[in-house]
Structure 1
Amino acid sequence: MQNKQMQHLMKGAVVLSIASFVAKILSAVYRIPFQNMVGNTGFYVYQQVYPIYGIGMTFALSGFPVYISKIVAEETAPAEQTQILRRSFALLGLFGALIFLYLQYQAPAIAVVMADAELAPLIRMVSYMFLLMPFLAVTRGYFQGIFNMIPTATSQVAEQLVRVVVIILAAWLSLKLHWSVYEMGTWAMSGAFFGGLVATVALLKPAEKAFVLRGTKPKGINLGAYRSLAKRLLIEGGSICLFASLIVLLQLVDSFTVKKGLVASGLTEDFAKNLKGIFDRGQPLVQLGLVISMAFSSTLIPSLSRARQQQQDHQFQQVAESLIHISLGLSAAATTGLMILMPQVNYLLFGDADGNKALVWYMLSIVIIALINACNSVLQSLDQFHKTTIALLIGLLVKVVINQWLVQHFQIVGASVGTVISLGVVLALILRQSPELVQDALGGQHFTGKLVLICGIMAVAVRFVVTVIQPSLVSRGQAVLGAGVGIAVGVSVFISLALAWQLFSIREWLTIPGGKQLLKLAQKLKR
């Protein structure tokens, strides 16, 4: 029976991983045609307010639902599960309403602090999604708690699809109807509400029975139970939310400091907006760089939890090591490739090579975030929430303190460096507090040394080939050729050296999709 439940859990985890992968691809890819349609200034307007949406999205999808699923799974009685849902909905409903009211009334003040008073309508528009957040968070958490991942997966993909369609439609209409970039941004931000509305409708019927109280109805309101749940939601649920929104929180700091710092450095308002729009190109690139490593490594997280629950220490150590190796290896390859091919990638996706230096620095975020997430998964499996939370808060504080000064002195390169430094602080603090198995995974069989050498050789090979076939870059056609050849060479060199120098174990290769075929090919070539 337990084996059957575990198979059901694993199947659900795979379904949710696929849905998350599709949603993340949609969330990253739409920004490219969007930027091409609205230009750097239009992209700046949208990206300034996007982090507020991103935080709300984290609450509704990957923060509170994860914690609610945990407390629902702890209760076996349906009546108790319903009580948890009702209390969670009431508490999050109050929380969402307060955020909505704050954003509605303080939108002008927030926009002024962002150094652009015309952003107020966008802030008011994005606030509406917080009214939908409580229902989305609670119902998704309930279904994940009873190991039914289908409703969450369906609502997640539907929400992103609708949001992307609304955003692209807003961009297209702004060109046809000659809207200002702020009118366009306001309608683009409405995609957050319409996407959330579709997700709510998708979850209404499946969740109908969950809120119907079964068993004996309690007398009165249990204030003690509400206080206890509120405390747990704030501390443990808040910790999960913080980590799930790490990238978005750093972008929120950028929204308040980058444009302001650029103007303080002596740039005009219009030029500062344009330059911030160029800097914001880094976000979809980082997301795309993380998607592959996160998708592969996320398949290992249920195995990590299972090994911990069954007290299989050796199995836990093996899975943790595989999680760290795969996350770090694939993200390091993606980081190296994007850094070397940045002129081609930038020209191909955005039509020019502006901001290359800043974007190259920003790409370092990929490998650091991947390693932070892998270590965080291990620590959370060991119920060590507070260590990662403190590290994250210190890293954010570092970003707040240094960012505007860096921007004033080094413009958008300074903003990228500020992000890398703050992430580096978070990673250093987490590694310092991590158990020995994390240190062993990074140093075992000289893994990190091999990885650095492989990425170095890959970088030299890609740079040499691209320089030979493409001494200059003046069109998107050339960018396609350079990026295509560079990616082919980079992938070939990385895989060949990783196999030859046994960077990953056989177990790890088998975890990576296509790894089994690569091992067979390597054996054939040896023979």
Structure 2
Amino acid sequence: MSDQKLLRGTMILTAATMISKVLGLIYIFPFTAIVGSTGVALYNYGYLPYMVLLSLATLGVPLAISKFVSKYHTLGDYRTGHRLFKSGIIVLSITGCFGFLLLFLSAPSLAPLIVDSSDPGGNTHDDIVFTIRMVSVALVVVPIMAVIRGYFQGFQSMGPTAVSQVIEQLVRIFFILVVTFFIVQVMNGEVGTAVGFATFGAFTGAIGGLVVLMMYWFKRRRFIYEQIDKSTVDHQLSYKEMYKELIAYALPLSFVGLALPLYQIIDLFTFNQTLMANGMDQVVSETYFGVFSGTAHKIILIPMALATALSVTLIPTITKSFTSGDQQTLQKQITQTFQIILFLTIPAAVGLSVLSYAVFGSLYGLEDLEIGGYILRYYAPITLFFALFAVTAAILQGLNKQKYAVIALAVGLGVKLLTTQLLLSWLGPIGGVFATYLGYITSLAVTISAIGKYAQFHYGFVAKRALLISIFSFIMAIGVIVINLGMRQMLGEVTRLAEWGILLLGAGVGFVIFMFLSYRSHLAGQVLGNRFRFLKREKAKQQQGN
């Protein structure tokens, strides 16, 4: 029964995470229309340092606390988990306030490292300082939510986390869109002011999420205290012992979770400075950065999130198979995980790359179409690398070899740091894209080899699957390119409606081609049959026919 409860909770949390990510993609369209790509860049100037400090302030707390609390609940000790919960709120409140002060006070020092502010029309130092300081306030509240969410998850109750995540996102997005529209469109205010207030949405969203969690707490506290009173064991751990165990759980989770923000932080402090030093206009440079770190980045996270959500459901079973020594099941589960990732992300990456101009133009408009389509064309395939790293890191955690995921990230970040400025100077804006590729390829070399070693996993079959999926994706790309070129030739004038037509027809044709090839070759049934019944039935019919 507990396994069913955990599976149901995991599905609820996965669904909530997907909803939050989709909402995070949808709001960026009207937000970009209001503030422009340079406004999106300014938003990220504040949001990226905030995300890094938030991760450091919380240190992977929700998952770590849930693991700690669940462990002692299993042993019949509800009191130890509750002691950690109460002290955790105090400790995380302190780290959150420290993070807030650090970010708030360091804002004037960070601004010159991001842009020189030498060109008229670009974001000024005052804009950047204001934006950073407005978003920093959220650090006071969000770590407290992390503790409460982790505690509820320790009871295998994912509902509070799921609902609070969605409400937090809805409140944040509502605040961002209303305040930016009012300042820019109604009051004819400055974009810098509007974006600064928009980042304050992180705080208002956090308050919304915290209210939801408090409602759950007051509703369930009687049950929780009853459980504590019925504890059959009290380990009487000291605070030092509790936090030593908690940090052992949290550090690998926190560090791996920092992957994307840390990569983007490197770009934050090198992108504009390098391009402007090589003669690029500040406004153009900031537009490229807004697309690279914001608008295009949001698009490529969607296929990554879907693939990761479907495959990570296998991670608990991987842990169980590894612990029990069931090598045959372990090999099958890892193989299935890789197949799902490759099947979903390779065609998505190819499709986004081929239709990059149509995707960007239809979603964000035509104002920055040349820049947006150009960046997205080269950046789209990174979704495969993001997904592979997230899943290989999770597999290593299942194998209790998470230190190799940390090593992989550290090595990849080193490569990114060493190559970004050089590649930006050589290749222009896409240099930052290729530096990210090099970093992730290096990280994947470490995680993939570690899985091969410690799970005794052989990649021959997965390599064949990757080749087959790549061939199907290449055939799909040819069909989509023909549709893309034919539609552009027929429509002539570039309009947003035309871009929507090209996108919908091109994506539709691409989907049909790829799924037809996958279905006829039995690939779809073999990879997704357990998730889609009609594919499973087709696979069974084929086996009977043979």
With normalisation by structure 1, the TM-score equals 0.90
Q: What is the letter of the counterpart of residue 155 of structure 2?
A: I
Residue of structure 2 in register with 1:510 after alignment: 529
> Given the superposition, is the C-alpha separation of residues 390 and 344 from structure 1 closer, same or farther in structure 2, using an over 3 Å criterion?
same
Residue of structure 2 in register with 1:498 after alignment: 518
Structure 1 residue 396 and structure 2 residue 413: aligned? yes
Give yes or no for contact 1:239–1:386 (8 Å, CA) kept in 2.
Answer: yes
SS of equivalent to 2:501: helix
> Given the superposition, is the C-alpha separation of residues 502 and 134 from structure 1 closer, same or farther in structure 2, using an over 3 Å criterion?
same
Which of 321, 333, 346 aligns to 2:360? It is: 346
- Give the deviation of 1:32 after TM superposition: 1.7
Q: How does 1:46-195 map to 2 (within 5 A)?
A: 46-55=43-52, 63-76=60-73, 77-115=77-115, 117-118=125-126, 119-173=128-182, 174-195=184-205
SS of equivalent to 2:279: coil
Give yes or no for contact 1:375–1:438 (8 Å, CA) kept in 2.
Answer: no
CA distance in 2, matches of 1:456, 1:519: 26
Which of 360, 369, 382 aligns to 2:377? It is: 360
- Give the deviation of 1:368 after TM superposition: 0.7
Q: What is the letter of the counterpart of residue 38 of structure 1?
A: V
CA distance in 2, matches of 1:32, 1:99: 30
Residue of structure 1 in register with 2:121 after alignment: none
CA distance in 1, matches of 2:493, 2:540: 40
Give yes or no for contact 2:476–2:510 (8 Å, CA) kept in 1.
Answer: yes
Greater displacement, 330-339 / 286-295: 286-295
Greater displacement, 45-54 / 140-149: 45-54
Give yes or no for contact 1:59–1:65 (8 Å, CA) kept in 2.
Answer: no
Which of 241, 247, 256 aligns to 2:260? It is: 247
Greater displacement, 399-408 / 258-267: 399-408
> Given the superposition, is the C-alpha separation of residues 160 and 106 from structure 1 closer, same or farther in structure 2, using an over 3 Å criterion?
same
Which of 202, 213, 218 aligns to 1:203? It is: 213
CA distance in 1, matches of 2:51, 2:493: 35
CA distance in 1, matches of 2:459, 2:59: 27
> Given the superposition, is the C-alpha separation of residues 170 and 254 from structure 1 closer, same or farther in structure 2, using an over 3 Å criterion?
farther
> Given the superposition, is the C-alpha separation of residues 212 and 243 from structure 1 closer, same or farther in structure 2, using an over 3 Å criterion?
farther
- Give the deviation of 1:61 after TM superposition: 8.8
CA distance in 1, matches of 2:520, 2:204: 51
- Give the deviation of 1:271 after TM superposition: 2.9
Residue of structure 2 in register with 1:13 after alignment: 10
- Give the deviation of 1:92 after TM superposition: 2.3
SS of equivalent to 1:179: coil
SS of equivalent to 2:494: coil
SS of equivalent to 2:280: coil
SS of equivalent to 2:200: helix
Aligned-residue Cα RMSD (Å) equals: 2.8
SS of equivalent to 1:435: helix
- Give the deviation of 1:483 after TM superposition: 0.8
Structure 1 residue 35 and structure 2 residue 32: aligned? yes
Give yes or no for contact 1:62–1:244 (8 Å, CA) kept in 2.
Answer: no
SS of equivalent to 2:458: helix
- Give the deviation of 1:382 after TM superposition: 0.9
CA distance in 1, matches of 2:57, 2:333: 29
- Give the deviation of 1:268 after TM superposition: 2.7
Q: What is the letter of the counterpart of residue 106 of structure 1?
A: S
Residue of structure 2 in register with 1:267 after alignment: 280
Deviations 1:427-449 (A, max 9, x none): 11211222355853563482122
Q: What is the letter of the counterpart of residue 414 of structure 1?
A: G
Residue of structure 2 in register with 1:299 after alignment: 313
> Given the superposition, is the C-alpha separation of residues 477 and 524 from structure 1 closer, same or farther in structure 2, using an over 3 Å criterion?
farther
CA distance in 2, matches of 1:282, 1:392: 23
CA distance in 2, matches of 1:13, 1:271: 43
Q: What is the letter of the counterpart of residue 14 of structure 1?
A: M
> Given the superposition, is the C-alpha separation of residues 504 and 316 from structure 1 closer, same or farther in structure 2, using an over 3 Å criterion?
farther
> Given the superposition, is the C-alpha separation of residues 391 and 211 from structure 1 closer, same or farther in structure 2, using an over 3 Å criterion?
farther
> Given the superposition, is the C-alpha separation of residues 63 and 212 from structure 1 closer, same or farther in structure 2, using an over 3 Å criterion?
farther
Residue of structure 2 in register with 1:327 after alignment: 341
With normalisation by structure 2, the TM-score equals 0.87
Deviations 1:194-222 (A, max 9, x none): 111111111113335369995699xxxx9
- Give the deviation of 1:54 after TM superposition: 3.3
> Given the superposition, is the C-alpha separation of residues 123 and 331 from structure 1 closer, same or farther in structure 2, using an over 3 Å criterion?
same
CA distance in 1, matches of 2:50, 2:68: 26
Q: What is the letter of the counterpart of residue 96 of structure 2?
A: G
For structure 1, the residue ranges without an aligned partner over 5 or more in a row are: none
Residue of structure 1 in register with 2:120 after alignment: none
Deviations 1:347-402 (A, max 9, x none): 11122222233222211210011111221121111111110001101111222222
> Given the superposition, is the C-alpha separation of residues 56 and 505 from structure 1 closer, same or farther in structure 2, using an over 3 Å criterion?
farther
Deviations 1:257-283 (A, max 9, x none): 111112111123233223322333221
> Given the superposition, is the C-alpha separation of residues 169 and 62 from structure 1 closer, same or farther in structure 2, using an over 3 Å criterion?
farther
Structure 1 residue 451 and structure 2 residue 496: aligned? no
Give yes or no for contact 1:59–1:137 (8 Å, CA) kept in 2.
Answer: no
Q: What is the letter of the counterpart of residue 365 of structure 2?
A: G
CA distance in 2, matches of 1:148, 1:164: 26
Give yes or no for contact 2:57–2:99 (8 Å, CA) kept in 1.
Answer: no
Q: What is the letter of the counterpart of residue 361 of structure 1?
A: Y
- Give the deviation of 1:490 after TM superposition: 1.1
> Given the superposition, is the C-alpha separation of residues 442 and 64 from structure 1 closer, same or farther in structure 2, using an over 3 Å criterion?
farther
Q: What is the letter of the counterpart of residue 529 of structure 2?
A: L
SS of equivalent to 1:425: helix
For structure 2, the residue ranges without an aligned partner over 5 or more in a row are: 116-123
SS of equivalent to 2:523: coil
Q: What is the letter of the counterpart of residue 482 of structure 1?
A: I
Q: What is the letter of the counterpart of residue 7 of structure 2?
A: M
Give yes or no for contact 1:265–1:409 (8 Å, CA) kept in 2.
Answer: no
Q: What is the letter of the counterpart of residue 86 of structure 2?
A: R
Q: What is the letter of the counterpart of residue 68 of structure 2?
A: I
CA distance in 2, matches of 1:153, 1:294: 17
Residue of structure 2 in register with 1:428 after alignment: 445
Deviations 1:107-126 (A, max 9, x none): 11112222252211111111
Percent sequence identity over aligned pairs: 25
Greater displacement, 276-285 / 124-133: 276-285
> Given the superposition, is the C-alpha separation of residues 297 and 233 from structure 1 closer, same or farther in structure 2, using an over 3 Å criterion?
same
CA distance in 2, matches of 1:236, 1:449: 37
Residue of structure 1 in register with 2:389 after alignment: 372
Aligned pairs, number: 516
Deviations 1:55-97 (A, max 9, x none): 4665799932011111111102111111121233333223222
Give yes or no for contact 2:57–2:143 (8 Å, CA) kept in 1.
Answer: yes
CA distance in 1, matches of 2:153, 2:278: 49
Give yes or no for contact 2:59–2:251 (8 Å, CA) kept in 1.
Answer: no
